[in-house]
Amino acid sequence: MKHEIVVVARLRAAPGKGDALAALLSEQVAVVRGAEPGCIAYRLHRSDSDPEVFYFYEAYVDDAAFELHRNAAYLAAFRERRTREGLVTGPAQVETYRPIAG
């Protein structure tokens, strides 16, 4: 039986790097949406009150689809690039959720 998983991930840009991080994350969104049929939502958001804070809202059809995403070589390359280019302060904060109704 398949069980949807929802992921919320928060990233903070390094000071003054918000626009550069937004550009890189937008590239990432395009790649993920094109490569992962088990990903049913992958939306990037930028905070109105703090433009250096970004949130991803993600939904996957099941745990296997999420694991495919987490272990994808292209995603690792984006993570490495964020670090190499000094675009973030610290790792992403990731929380997972399960639907309880609906």
Proportion of the chain in helix, strand, coil states, percent, rounded to 5: 35, 30, 30
Average pLDDT along the chain: 95
Two tokens, residue 77 = 């390359």
- Flag whether pLDDT at 8 surpasses 90: yes
The CATH code that applies to domain 5-97 is 3.30.70.100
pLDDT digits (tens, 9 = 90+) for 44-71: 999 999 999 999 999 999 999 999 999 9
